[in-house]
Amino acid sequence: MSDCVRSMLSDWEAKGAAGDDVEIELSRQFEELTADVISHTAFGSSYKEGRQVFLAQRELQFLAFSTAFNVQIPGFRYLPTEKNLRTWKLDKQVRSMLMDIIKTRLANKDTAGYGNDLLGLMLEACTPEHGEAPILTMDEIIDECKTFFFAGHDTTSHLLTWASFLLSTHPAWQDKLREEVRRECGDGEEEEELTGDMLNKLKLVNMFLLETLRLYGPVPAFQRRTSSDLDLGGIHVPEGAILTIAITSIHRDKEVWGEDAGEFKPERFENGVTKAAKHPNALLSFSSGPRSCIGQNFAMMEAKAVVAMMVQKFSLELSPKYVHAPMNVITVRPRHGLPMILEPAGCPVLSETLVPTTKVAAYVTADLTRQPPRGHQAAQRLEDKYPPPSALDSHQPDLEVVGKERAQRERQGVTAAMGVAWMVAAAVVAVMASWAFNALVHLVWRPYAITRKLAAQGVAGPGYRFFSGNLGDIKRLRGEGAVVTLDVGDHDFIPMVQPHFRKWISLYGRTFVYWTGARPNVCVADVNVVKQVLFDRTGLYPKNLMNPHISRLLGKGLVLTDGDDWKRHRKVVHPAFSMDKLKVRMTIRHALSVSMMSEWEAKGVNDVEVELSSRFEELTADVISHTAFGSSYIQGKKVFLAQRELQFLAFSTVFDVQIPAFRYLPTDKNLKTWKLDKQVRTMLMDIIKTRLANKDTAGYGNDLLGLMLEACAPEHGETPLLSMDEIIDECKTFFFAGHDTTSHLLTWASFLLSTHPEWQDRLREEVRRECGDEVPTGDMLNKLKLVNMFLLETLRLYGPVSVIQRKASSDLDLGGVQVPEGAILTIPIATIHRDKEVWGEDAGEFRPERFENGVTRAAKHPNALLSFSSGPRSCIGQNFAMIEAKAVVAMILQRFTLELSPKYVHAPMDVLTGWVAVTH
Ligand code: HEM
């Protein structure tokens, strides 16, 4: 770093005869310097070698910013507009230049290793030695290089530019800093090396740079997007809203920084960053929290070193040619560069008394006719080519030159008066035209472009149809399947419920694209790729929340939240599912099962016919009510019934085109959904209120509801872990997910027991051996190996959840295929569970033996059983469900023999999560 700075300073010295002052355009100098530093430290190359990359990236930056305030229409990125064509070309150039740098490094690998800079570390992480799945792919390395080439110099160079500007306009501070630098680091005459320790002692330089960052931070704003409808500081913000953190404005907020927020006062940082304002996190120049700038120490070290070495040698005086017009091109820079008069330090040219800051300001403002200085032509040319939307306010508004430009624009604007009618007509036509154009891009061009892009990678599919995509095909194929009934020994219900997957996989392979409306769906039926999606921990594949009815059914609880929200919810809920707690709850469950069976016994001395699926629904609803909410099925019955209706309503819309705005229209289905949702919320609130009313005598309780109320208790300070709204959503999730699934597992297990009497006998024998006639304890259940295998095979063939979905959060690489942002990734569990390549030739048969050596050895892939999903988002209730199912099956077998009624018709159907046996 010091070498690069030294060589820049020597150039400056060489420019003027020794002792004379010299005028230099500094912003360009700093751009080259910081580019040189990042090239050397991160990529082992020099600015000269990487120059073309920097230039191309600079053009890309101007291009990107010139579109920052345009309406962003997703499909536009695929249109061959002039800007897109240029962007694609530049991007290609950058990639191939970066590839050259990488190739050079790889060619020298055997003699010099990968190197221990950033590039070396990344190459190490992608080496073949690291096995089949390297941590980074070559494409990702190139992307990372792009990030660091840009982020690693552009920002720091502007920090240096603005620091120099402020040094020159605050000569008293310039003197103070020089004095500190000379005291701590010497005068730089003896080529003395600046050390990290010296830099750490430069407290004033540090304060000065922090204040520069506050007023002229290179990054004026950054953005986030809401991944779901959520509560933000007490305001409900809809999914997909963009949150703009306006750093420049926050940094000038008098309520945060005090009345002198607009002034340049490095003293405010005297006691550190956290005490400089009324809020400890008010300085946002490097952002804050886990995603704050990874390079902030690097940038501060670099800036300190440059400022120190510069003031050691030079006095800085602002050139009279300078025009103060900060402008935002993603980062904030001086529009016309920073011409600076440099004089050897020691004989200061500016003293506070001679040219106070205000005078410089007044001088610049007065000289509105002055031409911008030369020396910044490259940026100027780019700006002419891609004009940025506007200049940025400076910290002293009277320095604005921008006003002149605005006034000029207004003069050139439309001066002719236009009739109001004409204007209205023009506006309507413009809106219609833009709407039609957007629709065309979204409904025609984008699907076409995505289809082509995927086809080029070998991913085919049934072909997009205008507006509805392949939803018509899916409905038709499912309709044909719906009238079929199966033989009771036939477990292949795919032609009835997932006929489209069967058909398209046979035509296009396990990974193919199909269309729900104009939205691409990538079918992920290859277990290796499924693993890549489900085991991701970086948020690349969030949940798909397109269907508002499903969101109403489940609420924004664990199943549908993502990111930090999900972590927060899971942290609160997780303890309720620990093994100890599950064992305690066994007692309640057993008692409930016994009462159900006593009812059956009471029905008749001889054979009695019972419709099991509805009985299991009530039983599992009763169990979840008692164990999670301390209530009973009867108390929560209305919630279950309303949720059942919501479930059928939601499923009836699953194969409709999802148009985002439709969720707000008062259609029949929406009105019904809203009403049911309101009912459910009120009923859940009543259950919660009862619990809260008894809090002083009985505490919150140690079940799921108790844990959640504890986490939202006012005792936990101003920001409880869960809000009351979130608790209600979580209740919705558990009321539904906690019983609907397990009840179907019990239904299908009973069906299979009755159709496989030899297994029924074997299981009964095992139950009698391990549990006798007693109500089974947790330890006894653990010994029921055959029952366990039987249930796993039931889950494989009749798993209650047949499909799960995720969404591509950005353009990403999925098993070697570039998938576009927003594409839905559909994992057809039921189809994968019948894949002969994964489960062997007997995949279609009911054979619990395959689980003899555990789940991971039952198939050719250890993660092939996906009934509870897999990875970090796998089912939190799987132990709960398995214990419950084992206990109920064991107790049924202790008392009854099951025989399928002749009335039974084997016609599984899916209603969102479940497969319901229809008994006629
Ligand atoms: C046989 C019974 C069950 C099956 C087959 C099942 C299946 C699943 C599956 C496939 C997922 C992943 C969904 C996705 O990734 O989109 C899931 C998640 C979940 N399940 Fe279950 N489930 C069962 C029982 C239960 C029970 C009894 C509860 C609660 C008591 C429960 C609560 C949940 C929750 C809260 C999640 C979301 C977990 C997270 O994202 O962190 N499930 N379940």
Q: Residue with the nearest Cα to atom 16 of ligand 1?
A: 804
State if residue 742 touches ligand 1 by the CB under 6 angstroms criterion. yes
Best CA proximity match to 868, nearest among 805, 801, 806: 801
Nearest CA to ligand 1 atom 3: 741
**Cα 835 to middle of ligand 1, angstroms:** 23
Whether residue 889 contacts residue 770, with contact meaning beta carbons closer than 8 Å, is answered with no
How confident is the model over 266-276, as a mean pLDDT? 95
User: Is 80 exceeded by the pLDDT of residue 73?
Assistant: no
Residue nearest ligand 1's atom 39 by CA: 873
What's the pLDDT score for residue 367? 34
State if residue 560 touches ligand 1 by the CB under 6 angstroms criterion.
no
Chain centroid to CA 235: 21
Find tokens 């007997």 and name the residue: 842
Q: Does the structure show a pLDDT above 80 at 332?
A: yes
| Residue nearest to ligand 1 atom 9, measured at CA | 868
Q: 888 CB under 6 A from ligand 1?
A: no
Q: How far apart are the first and last CA of the chain?
A: 81
Q: Is 307 in the pocket of ligand 1 (CB under 6 A)?
A: no
Ligand 1 contact, 867 CB (< 6 A): yes
Atom of ligand 1 nearest to the CA of 734: 29
* Residue 89 confidence (pLDDT) above 80: yes
499 in contact with ligand 1, CB cutoff 6 A: no
Q: Per the structure block, which two tokens stand in for 606?
A: 């001889």
Q: Is residue 589 within 6 Å of ligand 1 at its C-beta?
A: no
Ligand 1 closest atom vs CA 733:
35
Of the candidate CATH numbers 3.40.50.1370, 1.10.4030.10, 3.30.70.100, 1.10.630.10, the domain formed by 481-916 belongs to 1.10.630.10
CA–CA separation, 238 vs 223, rounded Å? 15
pLDDT, one tens digit per residue, over 416-444 is 556 677 778 877 887 788 788 888 888 99
pLDDT at residue number 333: 85
Residue 360: its pLDDT value, please?
Answer: 28
578 has pLDDT over 90? no
Q: Is the pLDDT of residue 107 over 70?
A: yes
Instruction: Specify the pLDDT at position 392.
Output: 39
Tokens of residue 846, six digits? 């009911």
> Which ligand 1 atom minimizes the distance to the CA of 869?
10
Q: Residue 254 — φ and ψ, nearest 5°?
A: -65, -30
Candidate from 558, 741, 747, 879 with most ligand 1 atoms within 8 A of CB, to mutate: 741
Tell me the C-alpha distance between 829 and 802, whole Å.
5
**Mean pLDDT calculated for residue range 318-344:** 87
Mutate to test the pocket of ligand 1, among 875, 876, 910 (most ligand atoms within 8 A of CB): 875
792 Cβ below 6 A of ligand 1: no
CB of residue 843 inside a 6 A radius of ligand 1:
no
pLDDT of residue 377: 55
In degrees, to the nearest 5, what angle opens at C-alpha 503 toward C-alphas 501 and 508? 85
Distance (Å, rounded) from C-alpha 904 to C-alpha 908? 11
pLDDT above 90 for 308: yes
**Burial class of 825 by CB neighbour count within 10 A (0 to 12, 13 to 18, 19+):** buried
Average pLDDT over residues 113-128: 78
Distance 744 CA to ligand 1 centre (A): 13
Report the CATH fold assignment for 2-219+285-405: Cytochrome p450 (1.10.630)
Angle at 764 between CA 758 and CA 765, to 5 degrees: 90
Residues near 219 by beta carbon (within 8 Å), at least 6 away in sequence? 155, 247, 285, 287, 331, 332
Give the Å distance between the CA of 875 and the centre of ligand 1: 4
Q: Averaging pLDDT over each range in 169-178, 404-413, 604-613, 709-718, which range is the top one?
A: 169-178
Strand residues in 406-453 grouped as ranges (E): none
Return left, alpha or beta for 371; rule: phi > 0 is left, psi -120 to 50 is alpha, else beta: beta
555: left (phi over 0), alpha (psi -120 to 50) or beta: left
Pocket lining: 881 vs ligand 1, CB cutoff 6 Å = yes
Pairing of strands 230-232, 235-237: antiparallel
Domains 2-219+285-405 and 481-916 share a fold: yes
Instruction: Say whether pLDDT at 38 is over 70.
Output: yes
Residue 191 has a pLDDT of 61
Please state the domain extents for the chain. 2-219+285-405, 481-916
Q: Is 597 helix (H, G, I), strand (E, B) or coil?
A: helix
| pLDDT range class, residue 514, cuts 50, 70, 90 | very high
Establish whether residue 745 lines the binding site of ligand 1, counting it when its CB lies within 6 angstroms of any ligand atom.
Answer: yes
The answer to whether 890 touches 900, Cβ cutoff 8 Å, is no
At 114 the three-state DSSP class reads coil
What's the whole-number average pLDDT of the chain? 83
Q: pLDDT-based confidence at 190, cuts 50/70/90? A: low
Verify whether ligand 1 is closer than 6 Å to residue 542 (CB atom): no
pLDDT in tens, 130-164: 555 667 777 888 888 878 777 777 889 999 999 99
Say if ligand 1 is within 6 A of residue 741 CB. Answer: yes
The strand pair at 519-524 and 824-827 is best described as parallel
Could you tell me which of 736, 714, 732, 734 has the C-alpha nearest to residue 723? Answer: 714
Q: How many angstroms does the Cα of residue 181 sit away from the middle of ligand 1?
A: 62
pLDDT digits (tens, 9 = 90+) for 437-480: 888 888 999 999 999 999 999 999 999 999 899 999 999 999 99
Q: What is the pLDDT of residue 162?
A: 96
Q: How far is CA 162 from CA 10, 377, 426, in A?
A: 21, 19, 45
Ligand-binding site membership of 875 (annotated): yes
